[in-house]
Amino acid sequence: MPEIKVIKSEVEPVFQNLKEKTNELDTTNPKVEFSESKLDFIKKMEEIEAQYYETIKSFKTILIKTNNDAWSSIESYIKLDQNLARSIHKEKAQ
């Protein structure tokens, strides 16, 4: 089976960059005001806009959670790999 190598110093900046970019994602609705009108079109556009911003907020939340979960998994893997390496090293020393 091929070896999986994770070098924390190479992976950590990628996750940090993703976290920064995700936090920069603007999910605030600017609430564009339309002129007074009874047209259903404007109401529909406002509904679509509201749904869009809710979707963006959901996407950002999921992206943050996925990033955190992936980073946690990588940290766990690194710790496990280090413990395994220490254990093997101790066995060879005996």
Residues of the chain by 3-state class (helix, strand, coil), percent to 5: 75, 0, 25
- Once rounded to an integer, what is the mean pLDDT over residues 60-82? 94
User: Dihedral (C-alpha) 77, 83, 88, 93: value to the nearest 10 degrees?
Assistant: 160
pLDDT in tens, 20-61: 999 998 888 887 776 666 677 888 888 999 999 999 999 999
pTM of the model: 0.63
